[in-house]
Amino acid sequence: MSRGAKVRIVAGIALIVAALLLAWRFYRAAPATADELILLLPDDASFSDARVQVWLDAAREEGLHLVPMHDSRFIQPLLGRPPCAGVILPDSIHRRAADLLVNAIHDYVAGGGRLMLVFDAGTKSPAGFYDGSRSRFSDLAGVNYALYASLGSQTIASGEVSGTIAEMKALGVPPGKYYPLGESDGGGATAADSLQVQLRRYKYGELDYPSFATSGNYSGDVLLHSHAGIVAGAHAYGKGSVLFVNMPLGYLAGDTDGLPLHCFLKYFAERMLALPYLMPVPDGIGGLILDWHVDSNASIQPVQEINSWRLLQHGPYSIDFTAGPDVTSFGDKEGLDIPHNPFIQQMIREYVRLGDEVGSHGGWMHNYFATHVEKGNRAEMEKFLELNKEAVEQASGKPDLEYSAPNGDQPVWVTRWLAAHGFIAYYFTGDSGMGPTEEYRGGERIAHGIWAFPILHLDRAASFEEMAIYGYSNATVAEWLKQAMDFTADHRQVRLIYFHPPGILPYHHEIRTWMEHAAQVSAAGRFRWYTMAQIATFMNQRQKVRWRISERDGRALLDATDDRSLAHDTWWLPSPAFEDPMVIEGSATARPATGGSLVIAGDTNHIQITARMNNP
């Protein structure tokens, strides 16, 4: 080798070392993030993969910072492991893992790290085979699983998932999504928190989830279980801790069952890591959306009777109309015929005056549209949507922003049509029990900027007429209504309940009691009625907020910016991890609340908040 070549090699090495030292100095000098979660991914995974995006979207909707990172970056020895609050190993996209990664994860947790280990993550070797007699993460999970060598085709089993009411509450599962309810003690809790309950499904009741069969004793806190064994649990490992979730969270969320992913993501962040988050409701005040579906002239008399209950003095509500003259067949004249019905037009104007949001309930002919929307003539169905939208806008004098599907039947093309025609919200029978979400179906996100509002249901029933059909007592319905309201107030979230006017009439006493309770909780500043359009507008603006929390010298700095306004955006700072928040820049209010502090931004585009930090 020539002398010149040697010089070039030495110079190249020197440049590499200098670059690495510079990177190291920058890395060491950067303020440590106080709230960042890492989503670990195989090196060949794209960050734009829908299986990744479903996690990132869920975290953003929950107001958390989740950052995708490839395995090689996480285990890179020279720069050291990146600072973070916790690590998530997701299902579906990370089935394969090399021993080097498995060992790095063990070292991370043993040294004090926090891990959320999900379903089949790392259960297979890089070649795609189950590795050994059990998962290499079994000790981290706290129980043996992925027992393919001994169980073969029975390695994964499906079954109903159970837990106590107390565990469901801790996970943020709303009442009715688990059943039975337990009885209220008058203080928002139930008198039977130790009662075993099951996760339930709208209309069908029974809800089976796949999980790995598990064996061995579990030393931690069991959160959920099935006949296959441990479905979810949390336990200590070395100096750290592990949340093991034996369900395919990402896969389920990709196909209209996002509640488990959202619940466990929030549980990991809030209960195990004490992370701050950007709240999904204005001013940190939870509430309900009461969605009326007015679909035919048979609704007119019931609506008039409801009005006599003084129900409208509470609101605002979402009230969605089917506008055409017919319902089932052309010429049956059973519809509302909004363009030629002065009485309904006046009623709509009154709703708008009261602050309600008037929207579309399907396309023009309720039953005909519901029957043909999946397989009928697309051009005809689109024309019906256009006619309904035009009639509602003409009567209300404002844009039609929200939609509810007749019979809950909403194919993907309808959602995309709505998004392209100015709608920002729709009621949804998928993802039941959740708050507003940008819907995934078939593993793909359907649209941007339009929000699905999943129904909240009482076991198998959602609307009041279904509650009568399925035989739930009036006392059970009243208890569920109260618990649903308390859930949104306690968890500072939004949920949707819907009904048809004829179906609510037998529940006059229960509705009156419910409204009285709403007035009490509202007077305490803990509850509001919202409309779908209100929350969708808020969520779309919230997507634009840029914020981070950094840490220096035992203090946290919350820095938030929105080019338009941060008004009503609210952060939760849990105690004792964050204490004594103070506003140092911009317009905001920091006030104590049970379990932490609320930071509520004013009409400003930039705020800075400082708080004392303690190790959780």
Report the pLDDT value the prediction gives residue 78, as an integer from 0 to 100: 57
- Cβ 29 vs Cβ 46: under 8 Å: no
Q: What is the CATH number of domain 288-538?
A: 3.20.20.370
Per-residue model confidence (pLDDT) at position 79: 57
Cα torsion 179, 183, 187, 193: sign: negative
pTM to 2 decimals? 0.93
Task: Report the pLDDT value the prediction gives residue 80, as an integer from 0 to 100.
Answer: 63
Query: Which residues in the chain show pLDDT less than 50?
Result: 7-32, 187-189
pLDDT of residue 120: 97
Q: Is 306 exposed, middle or buried (0-12, 13-18, 19+ CB in 10 A)?
A: buried
Q: Which residues of 68-102 are buried (b: 16+ CB within 10 A; e: fewer)?
A: bbebeebbeeeeebbebbbbbbbbbbbbbbeeebb
- Classify burial at 114, counting beta carbons within 10 Å of its beta carbon; exposed 0-12, middle 13-18, buried 19 or more: buried
The HSE-up count of residue 598 (CA atoms within 13 Å, CB side) is 19
CATH architecture of structural domain 544-613: Sandwich (2.60)
335 in Cβ contact with 300 (< 8 Å): no
Do 234 and 223 touch, CB atoms closer than 8 A? yes
Q: Tell me the C-alpha distance between 33 and 83, whole Å.
A: 7
Parse the chain into domains and list their residue ranges: 1-27, 31-161+214-278, 288-538, 544-613
Q: Provide the pairing of β-strand 196-199 with 178-179.
A: antiparallel
Q: In the prediction, which pLDDT does 616 show?
A: 58
Report which of 481, 528, 531 is spatially closest to residue 509, judged by C-alpha positions.
Answer: 481
Class of domain 31-161+214-278 as given by CATH: alpha beta
**Separation CA 576–CA 580 (nearest Å):** 10
Per-residue pLDDT at 71: 96
Q: Assess whether the region 31-161+214-278 and the region 288-538 belong to the same CATH fold.
A: no
The predicted-structure confidence for 185-202, as pLDDT tens digits, reads as follows: 554 445 578 999 999 999
Residue range 328-346, pLDDT digits in tens: 999 999 999 999 999 999 9
> Where in 533-577 does DSSP place strands (E)?
546-552, 555-561, 570-574
Q: Give the model's pLDDT for residue 312.
A: 75
